[in-house]
Amino acid sequence: MAIRNLPRDHGWAFVALLVGNLALAGGPFLVRQSGVGPIAAGFWRLALALPFLWTIAWMVRQPVHLPRKALTVAIAFAAFFFAADLAAWHAGILLTKLGNATLFGNISSFFFAAWGLWLVRKWPSALQALALTLAAAGCGLLMWGSAELSAANLRGDLLAMLAGLLYTGYLILVERTRGELQPLPLLFLASLFGAMVLLPFAIAAGETIVPADWTGLVALALCSQVIGQGLLVYALGHVPPLVVGIAMLTQPALSALLGWIYYGEAFTARDWTGAAMIVIALILVRMKGVAVTRLREPIVAPN
């Protein structure tokens, strides 16, 4: 794989990364407010985002078009992984705590960080290893609240974990195609193909497809797909995978906080400690010389 020169990490891209993760962290809450089934919520998240993505792509002069056949097929496979990720994750959201669903759904963070290290063929430095260890320990503390492993929580946690694995496959496939297509057309096509996959499955599952109130679904599409993914598209052109991977782990803490505020789900001192450890890990990977330089530019981050 050839190395090419890419833009360096800079402040605005890191801010976009954090704001994008903030928008994505609200996804589980909005899925619960969607008024439709979990697969249908995934369909509407993608479908309702399409006109906004098309308009933004036109405004920034990245017109949507079908690329060559082999690349289109690769995007379709990536979209299948993304659709399966959303279906599993949204189902898991309804069966466990918001923080747990986001935490397990973001296990791809570690795989994505490892992918970045593998790309540069380097073992993590001492500070990188410390940051990853702190992030993992922080996730463990956040997860501790569900260590009771009740039957309901366990099913939801396992579905969210499956979603994280599926999303890892999606990221890898998209990373392989990113060099030949601009980010917004790629995001639009992945969303379009993913919506085409999800709709028949939602109908076959007998889910409620049309909500009584569209507010939750429109908010889900705008927050998770347009704002969240859109800002991450921008950030991923500048921010190294290790930083992206650990930044994604801020989502479970934010989702757990929403669960505590709106649903009374426990958010203890242990959870606060876990969230603080993730923040410290993020600060460590932002230190000069710690982040891994990127080789190729992926397009989107998890969920």
Residue 90 lies inside a defined structural domain of this protein: yes
Three-state SS at 295? coil
Residue 36 lies inside a defined structural domain of this protein: yes
Return the higher-pLDDT residue of 171 and 87: 87
Mean pLDDT of the chain: 77
Tens of pLDDT along 28-56? 888 888 999 999 999 999 999 999 999 99
Residue 76: exposed, middle, or buried by beta-carbon count in 10 A (0-12, 13-18, 19+)? middle
- Structural domain harbouring 67: 11-286
The count of structural domains within the chain is: 1
Predicted model pTM: 0.75
Residue 169 reports pLDDT greater than 70: yes
Lowest-confidence pick of 1-10, 107-116, 168-177: 1-10
Phi/psi for 68 (5° steps) reads -60, 160
Residue 294 lies inside a defined structural domain of this protein: no
Residue 300 lies inside a defined structural domain of this protein: no
Residue 169 lies inside a defined structural domain of this protein: yes
Q: DSSP label at 226?
A: I
Residue 269 reports pLDDT greater than 70: yes
Residue 292 lies inside a defined structural domain of this protein: no
Residue 7 reports pLDDT greater than 70: no
CA distances from 139 to 21, 26, 47, 143, 155 (A): 16, 18, 32, 6, 19
Arithmetic mean of pLDDT, 198-209: 94
Give the pLDDT confidence score for residue 187 in this predicted structure.
87
Q: Residues 6 or more apart from 277 whose CB is under 8 A from it? A: 134, 135, 137, 138, 141
Of the candidates 75, 73, 21, 85, the one whose C-alpha atom is nearest the C-alpha of residue 255 is 21
